[in-house]
Structure 1
Amino acid sequence: MAEQSSPTKPVRPSMGQVRSSSFLNDHQQYRPPSKPENHYGIDTVVEDIQASRISSPRQISPFNGIPSPENPPTIVESGVSHELSHPNCTSAPGTKQSKLVATIFYKSNSPRISNAVPSPRLAPQGSQSPEVPAAEELPANMAPASSMESFPLEPPTNEPEPLDHIYGSNVSPMCITSFLHLMSTFPLPPGSTEFASSHRCLKLDQNHENHPVVVELTLFPAPSPDYLSLEDLRKHELIYRFEREWNVDVALRGDSLWRRYPRLVVFDMDSTLITQEVIDLLAATIKDPPDLAARVADITHRAMMGELEFDSAFRERVKLLTGLPSSIFEELRSVLDVTNGVRPLLRALKRLGVKTAVLSGGFLPLTSWLAGELGIDYAHANEVVIDETTGRLTGEVKGRIVGKERKRELLLEIAEKEGIALEQVVAVGDGANDLLMMEAAGLGVAWNAKPTVQMEASARLNGDSLLDLLYLFGFTSEEVEQLTA
């Protein structure tokens, strides 16, 4: 009796298989499964890779006859196919195609713990092992406290499994594939039947194996705005979960002409152009009472978090500085720590002909001086009253405080004076008092910002160099080097 042959078990795909047959490698393009599963996690992408065949092999036949949509001109050279096709590059005459640009930044400098598994940190020079932050392991389904008084209303939720330590501490092919799979689940505009994409690497980590750390994806068509507006899409739970899984920031923008050609960039000063809060530096010079610096720093933190109304909080802090000599502003110049990347960024913007401004809730003497040092075109900040007899601060503020409403007004005034459309204005800040000017601008960028600002801003940058702002405009690292040389 002949033995019955057992059915062969399908082989689970390996990373080698995925990469070798991927549109991302061969054509910089991804075509999603026609019917995605209800679960949109990374498991779906991996398990369905064989069934859906993201990149199905095509038979190349010699071209004979007249080119047509059914028979596009194809050149076969050394086994490589060059096919002329325009639908993904430009729309047909008389039609428009909405495109969405996603810029993905890998947060290599941001330690993260998820399910007690630390995100990889690049090893310091001369070190044999990666630098890993300490972690306290929280067993599954365990409460963080034993007393009922401190027990949370809801049990602690598990974070998504960190995937960058599995597939690479960079924007890996699997990271891109997972993101495109996620985006393909959103409904398309009426009349659209296919979702396509292209991608290009903007920046490589030159110090560690040249892995991509900034990648720009163009998706077309964009998800239906009737189903989900761009503002809501940026805050979508699936996007947020993807960012935590892969340890990345995703900036979503409509692909328009203005995205690539900004004409005015407006900056906050404290914790944006510089790494400190000037008012905290001023308070630190007062030794009596000894807790003054801590009190001022606490008020500053709460105001930036949006817990306190900025104008009243600023007046309260200035009152605590009564009696300081006006010369303190000159003494602090040497202490100011300019944020990494600011000087080359402003040099690049100047070469591009972009106007710049600093709108600060700090003090005009330091803001004006810093603007002159950095070559910034406009500078606005608060003026404090100085006693002419003693030359010391009276604890009062002159004129309107440059808070969130005033920052927005100043942005609009500068744009109108320069004849610049708001779509070509970029606003960068970190605190709650920057939200209104960021909302008025065509692009609002949260720079290592407070949680509320991160959620509300159009884009987030959480790296170690403000020069990353140029990647949001679509520049490559080679172009950035040319602009900053």
Structure 2
Amino acid sequence: MPSEISPGLVIQGFTPPLRLSDFRLVAFDMDSTLINIECVDEIADAVGKKEEVAAITEAAMRGEITDYKESLRRRVALLEGVTVADMEQVYTQRLQLNPGAEALVQACKAAGLKVLLVSGGFTFFTDRIRDRLGIDYTRSNMLEVRSGPNCGELTGRMVDQEWGDICDGAEKRKMFLETCARLGISPGQAIAMGDGANDLPMMGEAGLSVAYHAKPKVREQAMVQINAGGLDRLLEVLR
């Protein structure tokens, strides 16, 4: 049975505290986990389509849309005409790290953990968050930008990368397991943290799964629920 060990902090399936140093990897989702926004929704605002895109995002994160790749293609198609300058404005004016993000990443790194960022969002943002927090590995989607006439505008499509087309739940799990293998560790020596249904495949492999201000389906399956406060509340469970 779930147990609330302090207000807004719930555990199930184990007895705390665990030791942070027992783990070798921590994997984070980005949108609404490490950062405060869903980037695709905020980008869509530049072309007056935020409400339409946000409705699809919400359904996908709740697990009501089972084909994540198709839901993302639909959302990205609505971004046609958004400029790189618009995205820069989202980054500088709307995007913030969630409370405790920097403290938790620093604590993990100090304890010797590597840090992985796996996102259904976009390289434009994950690359910046990687550099800002000193993250070791990332995987996310790449938006196609027009060259020639109307250069600097999004085409409404994504670019295939060497690992595949779209970072969905299955790809997050694959990258999580590949990173564990690269480090020579078992998935049980890794922590996975997210908020949406597309995070569940990697969270299901991890030795410790953490739901941060998450959708009901994710909270039900996570070993730790942070329902109030910042990301660094995980350090109340890990000593």
Q: Same fold (TM over 0.5)?
A: yes
- Match of 1:470? 235
CA distance in 1, matches of 2:231, 2:114: 17
Aligned residue identity for 2:59: R
1:265 paired with 2:23, answer no
Aligned residue identity for 2:154: L
| 1:293 shift after superposition | 1.2
- Match of 1:94? none
* Cα shift readout 1:414-463 (whole Å, capped 9, x = no counterpart): 11111122111000000000000000111111111101111122221112
CA distance in 1, matches of 2:147, 2:187: 42
Unaligned runs of 5+ in 2: none
Contact 2:43 2:79 in 1 (8 A): yes
Larger radius of gyration: 1
Equivalence map 1:431-442=2 (5 Å): 431-442=196-207
Contact 2:20 2:111 in 1 (8 A): no
Equivalence map 1:371-382=2 (5 Å): 371-382=130-141
- Match of 1:402? 167
Higher relative contact order (CA 8 A, sep 6+): 2
| 1:257 shift after superposition | 8.0
**Residue number among 123, 144, 161 corresponding to 1:364 in the alignment:** 123
1:461 paired with 2:226, answer yes
| 1:392 shift after superposition | 1.2
**Matched position secondary structure for 2:69:** helix
CA distance in 2, matches of 1:328, 1:437: 32
Equivalence map 1:38-187=2 (5 Å): 104-107=4-7
| 1:324 shift after superposition | 1.1
**Matched position secondary structure for 1:463:** coil
- Match of 1:418? 183
CA distance in 2, matches of 1:302, 1:103: 28
Equivalence map 1:338-349=2 (5 Å): 338-349=97-108
* Cα shift readout 1:55-102 (whole Å, capped 9, x = no counterpart): xxxxxxxxxxxxxxxxxxxxxxxxxxxxxxxxxxxxxxxxxxxxxxx9
Equivalence map 1:285-300=2 (5 Å): 285-287=46-48, 292-300=49-57
Aligned residue identity for 1:459: V
| 1:375 shift after superposition | 1.2
Aligned residue identity for 1:313: S
Against the structure 1 CA distance between its residues 263 and 271, is the aligned structure 2 distance closer, same or farther, given a 3 Å change threshold? same
- Match of 1:306? 63
| 1:326 shift after superposition | 2.3
CA distance in 2, matches of 1:373, 1:383: 19
Aligned residue identity for 2:131: G
* Cα shift readout 1:146-165 (whole Å, capped 9, x = no counterpart): xxxxxxxxxxxxxxxxxxxx
Against the structure 1 CA distance between its residues 461 and 324, is the aligned structure 2 distance closer, same or farther, given a 3 Å change threshold? same
Aligned residue identity for 2:199: D
| 1:256 shift after superposition | 10
- Match of 2:77? 319
CA distance in 2, matches of 1:341, 1:453: 20
CA distance in 2, matches of 1:264, 1:300: 28
**Matched position secondary structure for 1:284:** helix
| 1:329 shift after superposition | 2.8
Against the structure 1 CA distance between its residues 395 and 381, is the aligned structure 2 distance closer, same or farther, given a 3 Å change threshold? same
Q: What CA RMSD, in Å, does the superposition of the two structures yield over aligned residues?
A: 2.0
Aligned residue identity for 2:78: L
Equivalence map 1:274-293=2 (5 Å): 274-287=35-48, 292-293=49-50
| 1:250 shift after superposition | 3.0
More helix by share: 2
Aligned residue identity for 1:338: L
Contact 1:258 1:424 in 2 (8 A): no
Against the structure 1 CA distance between its residues 369 and 448, is the aligned structure 2 distance closer, same or farther, given a 3 Å change threshold? same
CA distance in 2, matches of 1:355, 1:455: 27
Unaligned runs of 5+ in 1: 1-101, 109-247, 476-485
CA distance in 2, matches of 1:103, 1:354: 27
Contact 2:47 2:81 in 1 (8 A): no
Aligned residue identity for 1:326: V
CA distance in 2, matches of 1:275, 1:386: 25
- Match of 1:355? 114
Aligned residue identity for 1:424: Q
Against the structure 1 CA distance between its residues 325 and 259, is the aligned structure 2 distance closer, same or farther, given a 3 Å change threshold? closer
Percent of matched pairs sharing the same residue: 37
TM-score (norm 1): 0.45
Aligned residue-pair number: 230
Aligned residue identity for 1:107: P
CA distance in 2, matches of 1:361, 1:257: 29
| 1:376 shift after superposition | 1.0
* Cα shift readout 1:218-263 (whole Å, capped 9, x = no counterpart): xxxxxxxxxxxxxxxxxxxxxxxxxxxxxx6233326898776111
